[in-house]
Each structure stands twice: as C-alpha cells, then as structure tokens.
C-alpha cells in the first residue's frame, strides 16, 4: 500500500537492534495510516543515525540510541515540528534548540512506569520478608519462628512522589498487607501525602522509621547523593534499600559499607557507576541483588512504548492534548 503524498512525513530513529520490537509491523501499519513513514536507519547500522529522509520529517519517533537533537542536527530537519519519544527520559535527547524552535516533545515515560511499579512492588514484598538474607542462611539450617519476618504491617518509606513513586504508593495502599506508608518529597504537602495514603516526613525521619526504603526521585543536583552515609546509617538494622530510580541518588560507597557489614539488604536495579566494575563487593554479597536496569519495559513489553508513541502521533495530528507532553519548564524536575 502506497502512502498518500499529502500525509506528513515521520522518521523513526532509534537503535536498530530495538526498533523492530518497539515498532513491530502491525504498529508501523497503524502509523502508516496517519503519516508517510520514511525508512529509518539501516538494520546494519552500529547505532541509530539520521537518514537522508530526516530533511523532510515533520515528526520524529525517537527511542533508545537516538542521537541528541542539537542545533546542528535540527538544521538538517527544518520541517520538524514534533518529537514522540518511544522511551522514558528525554533529558539526553533534547537540547535548548528544540524548545527555541517550538518543537513539541512527548515521552512514553508513563507507558514505561507500569512495569517499574509492578517490579518495585514485587521487590517490596521480597524485602519485607528479608528474602535475600533468609535465602543466604538456608544452608545453615531451618530458621526458627522468631527469625522470620513477614510483609504485613511493615513500614515502607517512599523517597520521591514521582509518577512511579505515586504508583507504588497506590499499589501498597490497595493491598491488604496493612503497610504503614511514609513519603518524603519537598514538592508534596501534608494534605497531598494523605491523599496518597502516606504520612509526609523529612528524609531523616523516613530512614529512621522504615523497614524498607524505596527510591523514586529523579536525579537532580539536589538529589545526587541524597541517601548518603548519614541517611543510610539511620535505617534500622535489618532494613532494606530498593533503588529502581537513578543510581547516583545513593552514595554507593556508603551503601557498600552498610551492606558489607551485613546491616542492610539492598535490591538495586540502578547503580553508580553503571555498570559496577567487575569484582565490586555489591556484586557478590548474598543479601544484595543487583540487576541490569530491568525494572522498565523488557522484551515484548517495549511494544507498550511504541503503542504510546503511535497514539501520541495520532493525538497530535488531530489537535488533541498529548498525554506525555514534556515542557522546557518541567524537564529539569523529571527523571
């Protein structure tokens, strides 16, 4: 089927290794009903590049591996009016030149949030039972009843009322485990925290009272190293740290000391640096689980991001509000 010449031109630019999973044939067919989809980078390309058709593009569908949209790059795409990012953060993608040219930006971060929320809720269930510690002790004998801990009634501290942080709170609030929920976020009021089902407290109090601390704040200058030696030292013995946000929010050296001592458990889907160097102590501790950034959409799940981006294209073409709109003002505070 030949695309109508009057349709706007869209170009998909992302790592060729993932493009076919994000935008499989059926999604490309759906997209082709609304736009003239120009060929993207060749599958043999080592990483995403901008094809010659970028010069005609009015819409860019970007994803992991898309080069940064600098002024020089945008000079090659004078007709570009919208960027639909079929992934999460756009911080590494957009430059000031994007905003200066009035280009609309949307991110599929909401579509990526669902898997992260589900993954984090599963980790909290494991963490409340001190699963890693109990598994490591299995070889030494069956644990006594007073050595066991259950999930019901645990105090869980959420650091950051981001979209994922709010989703985790909603999941915990909707469970029958009776968790006591604490929240720290400088932009959230006491009343808003109550509506989220949590008590708003300062970070130090949250660390002091929580059996499980789960990190969901974006990485900003003021949140870099937020959970430092002092804050981690306040978490009670046997406490657990979960980080599915950004590695640099946690002081890696301080966390390593706490975990090497056996005082804290940790579930880390992100680290600083990322990846951790071979032989790093956190990689071999039995009560620490380090995973390679798998909380977000994986495998067939990445189609969620493609569906979201295609729907945003359709909304934009009809003049409907974009659900994933990103503004210049909001970008510094996003993940």
Residues acting as catalytic residues: 246, 274, 293
**Residue pair 217/165 in contact by the 8 Å Cβ criterion:** yes
Phi, psi of 61 (to 5 degrees): -100, 105
**104-107 and 325-326: which strand pairing?**
antiparallel
Query: If phi over 0 gives left and psi between -120 and 50 gives alpha, with beta otherwise, what is residue 262?
Result: left
Q: Find the length of the chain.
A: 335
From the number of C-beta atoms within 10 Å of its C-beta (0-12, 13-18, 19+), residue 15 rates as middle
Angle, nearest 10°, between helix axes 109-128 and 163-173? 50
């Amino acid at each position: 089927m030949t695309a109508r010449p009057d349709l706007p031109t869209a170009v998909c630019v992302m790592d060729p290794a993932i493009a076919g999973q994000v935008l499989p044939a059926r999604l490309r067919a759906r997209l082709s009903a609304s736009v003239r989809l120009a060929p993207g980078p060749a599958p043999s390309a080592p990483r995403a590049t901008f094809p010659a058709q970028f010069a005609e593009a009015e819409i860019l569908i970007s994803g992991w591996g898309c080069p940064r949209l600098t002024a020089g790059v945008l000079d090659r795409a004078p007709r570009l009016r919208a960027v639909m990012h079929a992934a999460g953060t756009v911080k590494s993608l957009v430059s000031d030149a994007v905003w200066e040219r009035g280009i609309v930006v949307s991110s599929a971060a909401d579509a990526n949030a669902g898997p992260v929320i589900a993954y984090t809720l599963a980790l909290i269930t494991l963490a409340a039972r001190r699963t890693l510690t109990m598994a490591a002790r299995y070889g030494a004998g069956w644990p006594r009843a007073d050595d066991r801990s259950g999930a019901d009634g645990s105090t869980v501290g959420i650091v950051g009322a981001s979209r994922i942080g709010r989703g985790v709170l909603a999941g915990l609030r909707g469970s029958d485990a009776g968790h006591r929920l604490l929240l720290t976020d400088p932009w959230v009021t006491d009343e808003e925290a109550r509506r989220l089902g949590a008590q708003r407290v300062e970070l130090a109090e949250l660390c002091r009272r929580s059996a499980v601390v789960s990190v969901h704040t974006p990485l900003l200058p003021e949140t870099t190293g937020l959970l430092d030696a002092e804050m981690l030292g306040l978490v009670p013995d046997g406490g657990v740290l979960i980080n599915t946000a950004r590695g640099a929010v946690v002081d890696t050296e301080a966390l390593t000391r706490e975990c090497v001592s056996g005082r804290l458990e940790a579930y880390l889907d992100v680290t600083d640096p990322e990846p951790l160097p071979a032989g790093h102590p956190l990689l071999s501790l039995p009560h620490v689980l380090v995973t390679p950034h798998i909380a977000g959409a994986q495998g067939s799940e990445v189609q969620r991001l493609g569906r979201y981006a295609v729907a945003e294209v359709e909304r934009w073409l009809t003049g409907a509000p974009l659900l994933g709109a990103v503004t210049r003002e909001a970008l510094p505070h996003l993940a």
